[in-house]
Amino acid sequence: MNPVRKDQNLCICEKCEFKNVIFQFLKEEDIFDLCDNKEERNFRKGEIINLEGDRIIDFKYLKKGLVKIYRRSANGDEQVITITRPFEFVSNMSIFSEERYRYSVSALEDSTVCVVSLDFMKALFSKNGALTLGLLSKVSQVSDHIISQSLEIRNKNLVGRVAYVLLFFAKDIYSSRVFDLPVSRKEVADFISMSTANVIRTLSDFKRDGIINVDGKTIEITDMSKLEMIARRG
Amino acid sequence: MNPVRKDQNLCICEKCEFKNVIFQFLKEEDIFDLCDNKEERNFRKGEIINLEGDRIIDFKYLKKGLVKIYRRSANGDEQVITITRPFEFVSNMSIFSEERYRYSVSALEDSTVCVVSLDFMKALFSKNGALTLGLLSKVSQVSDHIISQSLEIRNKNLVGRVAYVLLFFAKDIYSSRVFDLPVSRKEVADFISMSTANVIRTLSDFKRDGIINVDGKTIEITDMSKLEMIARRG
DNA sequence: CGCGGCTTTGATGTTCATCAAGTAAAGTGG
DNA sequence: CCACTTTACTTGATGAACATCAAAGCCGCG
């Protein structure tokens, strides 16, 4: 162990929650090493973390906050791929297969990202198969989730999609029947591939039918089972 | 090296094309070992290679042929996720993160699949970081491809989707302007999330407009640039 | 207090699924 | 190998679902 590092309190990675996600196979000395090479960065709500087309030079993961993964489609408008919390990787997917980001990532809440040089991580992964297998498992989980989400959205109609997205926020993101929508109506529309006007109209319909309460960004699901039925049917 | 294995000709893995995809980091002794543990299986056109919900016990990859990856959606109908050639993994994605297959895979042409016990592969990956990193890179490439394909399909309209799928077959699958559609009209519809009737109608329209020639399963793209324009616009 | 962006609602036309009815092709059993 | 059955394909007609356009209300911010 590095003598300079005798004072273990200097290394906060040791106590990082993320350690349990994929780093459980890391030896202590590697953790200290990682600690020396990592950098924590804070992003304000609205700030861009990764930009589509930029060169990938860092391994990043979301420690705290909420982010939107999106891309600009051929005709220029935005397409939201998914919205996610820690510890789904921020620079997920393409990081080890592409030289540049295929998707942008921006902060929907004030967020903390842990940044490590990609070369450093590659070296670490190269010498530790179990660690890499853990990452692989995690990466494929994340990808699978995005794929099935996209497939789900594709075989629902308008009302089904809106119901789906409301349940997505309530269950996956906030674990609460009441929540503040972290995105605009337009972003919801870009997420479920529908027009903004129709998303709003459908929310109004749900409100009229006593399924939800809407007050600006605040949404309360009042009839969960009905909403779930609509999501299933639609 | 294992003395029994002196005769290197017994090991065909050494010459397998797949070796270059992710196994370039494998030591010679591991290749022989793999050779002893692998099994090649042939599937006839139409046969099922993986069934959604089945327990995953093998690592499989497609050596030869053409396959369809699909799932059954909540309301019972089939949803085609993608169609792919070697060496995109057959038991891709969920293999290291799930216990059971999330998607089915069936053969669209007579296909050859190489099968190795998952436990054996896990052991191999655990002790070889570089190898695992190669797999990780490949897996994320495949996932990325499926994700962007799904996103592309989602922001096109009917004609754009049909044009897209024709170009997909011509470029990605057959590398030819003329090809035999390996799937039914219904399966095309299930792939692009449209109704069968409208897929057929659109093909007829394209034919009427001199963009393609259709004779049963055989399709010839006669006006490539027009088709590409429709795919981009739609 | 006025400007610009986000939201909301209505009206309109387009796009698409669905139904139906008919034809072609591909299996299946005698 | 032919009659029979089933499955795939095709086209038209209809109505439902959805995008688009337009106009007005709201809200935050300079």
Cα gap B31→B38, rounded to integer Å: 10
Q: Comparing A16-152 with A156-233, is the CATH topology the same? A: no
pLDDT score for B5: 46
Select the residue of B73, B136, B150 nearest A147 (Cβ to Cβ). Answer: B150
Nearest CA to CA, how far is B7 from chain A (Å)?
A: 30
User: Measured from the CB, is B197 under 7 Å from any atom of strand D?
Assistant: yes
Amino acid sitting at position B229: M
Which nucleotides on chain C have any atom < 7 A from a protein Cβ? 6-11, 15-20, 25-26
Q: Is the pLDDT of residue B4 over 50?
A: no
Nearest Cα to Cα of residue A223 among A234, A213, A232:
A213
Are B129 and A126 a contacting pair, CB within 8 Å? yes
Bond preceding residue A18 cis, omega within 30 of 0: no
Nearest Cα to Cα of residue B73 among A165, A192, A151, A234:
A151
Pick the range with the lowest mean pLDDT from B7-11, B155-159, B164-168, B184-188. B7-11
Nearest CA to CA, how far is B79 from chain A (Å)?
A: 8
Q: What is the pLDDT of residues B22-40, one digit of tens each?
A: 777 777 788 888 888 889 9
Are A115 and A60 a contacting pair, CB within 8 Å? yes
Highest mean pLDDT among A33-37, B50-54, B99-103, B183-187: B183-187
User: Measured from the CB, is B85 under 7 Å from any atom of strand D?
Assistant: no
**CATH code for the domain defined by B15-152:** 2.60.120.10
Nearest CA to CA, how far is B146 from chain A (Å)?
A: 7
Return the C-alpha torsion angle B223, B224, B226, B228, nearest 10: 160
pLDDT score for A4: 47
Mean pLDDT, chain A cut into blocks of 10 residues (234 residues total) = 48 73 76 84 92 92 93 86 86 76 93 92 89 87 92 95 98 96 96 97 96 95 96 90
Higher pLDDT pick, A66 / B2: A66
pLDDT score for A227: 97
Nucleotide nearest to A187 (CA to C1'): C6
Select the residue of B81, B130, B143 nearest A126 (Cβ to Cβ). Answer: B130
Q: If phi over 0 gives left and psi between -120 and 50 gives alpha, with beta otherwise, what is residue A46?
A: left
| Class of domain A16-152 as given by CATH | mainly beta
Per DSSP, B4 falls in state G
Q: Is A197 an 8 Å CB contact of chain B?
A: no
Q: Is B24 an 8 Å CB contact of chain A?
A: no
Q: Is A181 helix (H, G, I), strand (E, B) or coil?
A: coil
Highest mean pLDDT among A4-8, A88-92, B13-17, B66-70: B66-70
pLDDT score for A93: 64
Residue closest to C8 C1′ by Cα? A200
pLDDT score for B75: 78
Nucleotide nearest to A189 (CA to C1'): D19
Residues of chain A contacting residue B135, judged by C-beta atoms under 8 Å apart: 136
pLDDT score for A2: 45
Nucleotide nearest to B156 (CA to C1'): C15
Higher pLDDT pick, B177 / A32: B177
| Class of domain A156-233 as given by CATH | mainly alpha
Asked whether the beta carbons of residue A137 and residue B96 sit closer than 8 angstroms, the reply is yes
Higher pLDDT pick, A158 / B74: A158
pLDDT tier, B16 (very low <50, low <70, confident <90, very high otherwise): confident
pLDDT score for B93: 64
- CB-count exposure of residue A100 (10 Å: 0-12, 13-18, 19+): exposed
Select the residue of A143, A193, A232 nearest B93 (Cβ to Cβ). Answer: A143
Pick the range with the lowest mean pLDDT from A195-209, B36-50, B91-105. B91-105
Pick the range with the lowest mean pLDDT from A43-47, A98-102, B1-5, B160-164. B1-5
pLDDT tier, B91 (very low <50, low <70, confident <90, very high otherwise): low
User: Which of B77, B133, B161 has the most A C-beta neighbours within 10 Å, making it the best mutation to test the interface with A?
Assistant: B133
pLDDT score for B216: 93
Pick the range with the lowest mean pLDDT from A27-41, A134-148, B58-72, B76-90. A27-41
User: In what helix (H) or strand (E) does residue A230 lie, and over which residues does it extend?
Assistant: helix A224-233
CATH, domain B157-233, list 1.10.10.10, 1.10.3720.10, 3.30.70.141, 3.40.50.10860: 1.10.10.10
Query: Average pLDDT, whole number, for chain B?
Result: 89
Q: Which residues are registered as beta bridge partners of B40?
A: B114
Asked whether the beta carbons of residue A147 and residue B148 sit closer than 8 angstroms, the reply is no
**Buried-exposed string B61-95: b where 16+ CB fall within 10 A, e elsewhere:** bbbbbbbbbbbeeeeeeebbbbbbbbbbbbbbbbb
Q: What is the pLDDT of residues B184-231, one digit of tens each?
A: 999 999 999 999 999 999 999 999 999 999 999 999 999 999 999 999
Distance of CA B10 to the CA centre of its chain: 29
- CB-count exposure of residue A9 (10 Å: 0-12, 13-18, 19+): exposed
Residue spans of the domains in chain A: they are 16-152, 156-233
Q: Integer distance in angstroms from the first to the last C-alpha of chain A?
A: 59
